[in-house]
C-alpha cells in the first residue's frame, strides 16, 4: 500500500454476499473501507486481496468472528483522517471538531453524500442482496481530486 493512499474503495452492507461486480469496481483501490454488516469473514479476506481493509461491525455482525471488528474505526488516507461507523445516527462526536474530514457509514442501504461543517459524509449504499427497490452499489473516492466527489458505482445485478 502506498504510504498515503488516495484511491479509496467504499463498500457496506454486503450481508454475506460479495458480488464479482463489487470486486471489479473496487479493483485499483489503495485502501478499502467496509462500513459494516459484513455477514461473512471471507468477504474481508477477498477484499484484502485487492487492498488493505478497514472494517467495522454492523448490527447483523453477531457471529463470534465479528467480535474482532470494532464498532468504529479511523482510517488515514492521503493526509486525511476518516471516521468509519455503521450507522451514522450512532455518531457520538462532532467530526469537524475532532479533526475528521470524512465520515463513512452504511446501514440505511441508501447511497448518498452530504457536506456539513466542512465534513464529507458518504454512504456507499448496499453491495449485498438487493433490499426493497434500492440500488446495489459501492463507491470510490479519489482524494487527489478536489473538491472530493464520491463516484457511486451501480452494480446493477438484476438477477436477485
Full DSSP string of 53-66: EEE---TT--SGGG
Predicted local confidence at residue 157, as pLDDT: 54
Residue scoring higher pLDDT (78 or 3): 78
Mean predicted lDDT score pLDDT of the chain: 94
* 35, 57 Cβ separation under 8 angstroms: no
Residue pLDDT, tens place only, 49-58? 999 999 999 9
Assigned C-alpha cell, 81: 483522517
Q: What is the mean pLDDT of residues 127-131?
A: 92
Residue pLDDT, tens place only, 106-121? 999 999 999 999 999 9
Residue pLDDT, tens place only, 20-30? 999 999 999 99
Give this prediction's pTM. Answer: 0.95
* 104, 10 Cβ separation under 8 angstroms: yes
Question: Which of 14, 133, 132 minimizes the C-alpha distance to 32?
Answer: 14
Predicted local confidence at residue 132, as pLDDT: 81
> In this prediction, what percent of the chain has a pLDDT beyond 90?
91
Rounded distance, CA 38 to CA 113, Å? 21
Domains and CATH numbers, the chain: 7-154 (3.60.21.10)
Rounded distance, CA 18 to CA 40, Å? 9
Rounded distance, CA 78 to CA 101, Å? 11
Amino acid at each position: 500500500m502506498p504510504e498515503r493512499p488516495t484511491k479509496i474503495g467504499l463498500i457496506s452492507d454486503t450481508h454475506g454476499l460479495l458480488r464479482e461486480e463489487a470486486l471489479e469496481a473496487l479493483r485499483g483501490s489503495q485502501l478499502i473501507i467496509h462500513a459494516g454488516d459484513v455477514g461473512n469473514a471471507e468477504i474481508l479476506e477477498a477484499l484484502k486481496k485487492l487492498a488493505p481493509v478497514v472494517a467495522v461491525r454492523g448490527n447483523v455482525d453477531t457471529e463470534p468472528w465479528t467480535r474482532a471488528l470494532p464498532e468504529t474505526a479511523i482510517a488515514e488516507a492521503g493526509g486525511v483522517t476518516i471516521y468509519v461507523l455503521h450507522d451514522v445516527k450512532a455518531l457520538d462526536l462532532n467530526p469537524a471538531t475532532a479533526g475528521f474530514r470524512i465520515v463513512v457509514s452504511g446501514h440505511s442501504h441508501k447511497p448518498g453524500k452530504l457536506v456539513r461543517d466542512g465534513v464529507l459524509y458518504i454512504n456507499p449504499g448496499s453491495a449485498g442482496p438487493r433490499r426493497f427497490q434500492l440500488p446495489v452499489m459501492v463507491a470510490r473516492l479519489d482524494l487527489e481530486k478536489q473538491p472530493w466527489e464520491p463516484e457511486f458505482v451501480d452494480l446493477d445485478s438484476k438477477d436477485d
